[in-house]
C-alpha cells in the first residue's frame, strides 16, 4: 500500500524534519530533503527578507521537495505568506493559530497545507479548515506545546479515530523503533525535531547542541503555561522561572522575566545560563551530533530492524 505521507509530499521516506526556531535554516532543510525526507525552513525566527534568502538558498541546494513552517502568531505573517507565494514554495506547515485563517489563501495558490495540533479537538478543526495533513504533537515534544499534556502514545490513536487525512506523529521520536511505534498507532509518518537539533547542519549554537547530547532523563520540563507552554532544558533561566512561581509571580511578571529574544540568546547565541533552551524529552536518547543524512539513514535502518523484530512474534 502506498504511504500517504510519501505520496503527498513526493519524498522517499515518511520522515519530516520539524521547523524549529533558531535551528531549521536552509542548510538543514536542504540536507534532510536531499537525504529523502522532507526538510522544513522554520520561519518563526526569521524576518521576512531573511526567510526569502533561506528559501532561495534552499532552492539552489536541493531539487527535492521542502517546506516552510509559519507560526501564525508571527506579527508580519502577511509578508511571510506573500514571500511563500512569490518564491514558489509548494508545502507550508502552519502552527500556533487558527488554520481557517490562511489555509484557503494557501490552497488557492496551489500549496499543500499541514497544520500542527496537540489535541483531537484541534485536529478536527484543522481537517474542517481543509488542510491536507496534520502533525499531532504529543506532550513530550520540545518547544511550544499543548496545554492538555496529552502524550504521543495517547494522542496518535485518538486523532486517528476521528480524522481521515494523513497524520504525522511528533513528540518523543528520535529512533527507528519510535517511528514504527507511531505508525502502528495510526500515524502515516513522523515529524522529528530534537534529533535534528543535534545535527551538523542545524543553525543552533554548538554549545546548545552539546547541552542536548549531554542531557539525561528528566533534564527538561514544560513550564510558562500562563504565557505559552514551552518545554525547556533546566538551566539558570528555568530555575529563575521556578523561583518566580514560588513567590507568586503573575502573568505580567512572568512576561517581564521572559523578556525579548530569550530563545535566540540560548539556542542561537549559546548562552546556556540565561537563554531559553527548547528541546524535547527525547534528548535523553540523543548522544551524538551527526550529519542530517546519516541521521535519516540510521532512523530508516533502525525502523527496518524494528519491523523485522516485530514480525518474529
Spatial separation of the C-alpha atoms in residues 68 and 89, rounded to whole Å:
8
What is the reported pLDDT for 44? 87
Contacts of 201 (CB under 8 A, 6+ apart): 27, 28, 31, 291, 292
Q: Which residues of the chain have pLDDT under 70?
A: 1
Spatial separation of the C-alpha atoms in residues 13 and 146, rounded to whole Å:
27
Spatial separation of the C-alpha atoms in residues 294 and 292, rounded to whole Å:
5
Spatial separation of the C-alpha atoms in residues 260 and 298, rounded to whole Å:
37
Please state the pTM of the whole predicted model: 0.94
What is the reported pLDDT for 258? 86
What is the reported pLDDT for 1? 52
Is 152:172 a contact under the CB 8 Å cutoff?
A: yes
Q: What is the DSSP string of 225-273?
A: TTT--EEEE-SHHHHHHHHHHHTT--HHHHHHHH-SSHHIIIIIT--TT
- β 230-233/220-223 pair status: antiparallel
* Three cell numbers, residue 285: 536518547
What is the reported pLDDT for 112? 98
Spatial separation of the C-alpha atoms in residues 219 and 251, rounded to whole Å:
25
Span 205-264, pLDDT tens digits: 999 999 999 999 999 998 888 888 889 999 999 999 999 999 998 999 888 888 888 889
What is the reported pLDDT for 171? 95
Q: Closest Cα to residue 163, out of 195, 196, 141, 135?
A: 135
Amino acid at each position: 500500500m502506498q504511504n500517504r505521507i510519501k505520496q503527498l509530499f513526493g519524498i522517499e521516506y515518511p520522515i519530516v524534519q520539524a521547523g524549529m526556531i533558531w535551528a531549521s535554516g536552509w542548510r538543514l532543510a536542504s540536507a534532510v530533503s536531499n537525504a529523502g525526507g522532507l526538510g522544513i525552513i522554520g520561519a518563526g525566527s526569521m524576518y521576512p527578507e531573511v526567510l526569502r534568502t533561506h528559501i532561495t538558498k534552499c532552492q539552489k541546494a536541493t531539487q527535492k521537495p521542502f517546506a516552510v513552517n509559519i507560526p501564525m502568531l508571527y506579527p508580519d505573517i502577511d509578508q511571510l505568506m506573500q514571500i511563500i507565494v512569490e518564491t514558489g514554495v509548494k508545502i507550508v506547515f502552519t502552527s500556533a493559530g487558527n488554520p481557517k485563517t490562511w489555509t484557503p489563501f494557501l490552497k488557492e495558490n496551489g500549496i499543500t497545507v499541514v497544520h500542527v495540533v496537540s489535541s483531537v479537538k484541534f485536529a478536527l478543526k484543522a481537517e474542517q479548515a481543509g488542510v491536507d495533513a496534520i502533525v499531532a504533537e504529543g506532550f513530550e515534544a520540545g518547544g511550544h506545546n499543548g496545554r492538555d499534556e496529552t502524550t504521543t502514545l495517547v494522542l496518535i490513536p485518538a486523532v486517528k479515530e476521528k480524522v481521515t487525512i494523513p497524520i504525522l506523529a511528533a513528540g518523543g521520536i528520535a529512533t527507528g523503533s519510535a517511528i514504527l511505534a507511531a505508525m502502528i498507532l495510526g500515524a502515516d509518518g513522523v515529524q522529528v525535531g530534537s534529533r535534528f537539533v543535534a545535527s551538523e547542519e542545524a543553525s543552533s549554537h554548538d554549545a546548545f547542541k552539546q547541552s542536548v547530547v549531554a542531557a539525561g532523563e528528566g533534564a527538561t520540563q514544560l513550564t510558562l503555561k500562563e504565557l505559552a507552554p514551552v518545554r525547556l532544558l533546566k538551566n539558570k533561566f528555568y530555575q529563575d522561572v521556578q523561583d518566580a512561581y514560588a513567590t507568586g509571580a503573575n502573568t505580567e511578571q512572568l512576561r517581564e522575566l521572559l523578556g525579548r529574544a530569550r530563545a535566540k540568546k540560548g539556542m542561537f547565541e549559546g548562552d546556556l545560563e540565561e537563554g531559553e533552551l527548547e528541546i524535547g524529552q527525547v534528548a535523553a536518547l540523543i548522544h551524538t551530533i551527526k550529519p542530517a543524512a546519516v541521521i535519516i539513514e540510521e532512523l530508516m535502518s533502525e525502523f527496518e530492524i524494528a519491523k523485522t523484530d516485530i514480525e518474529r512474534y
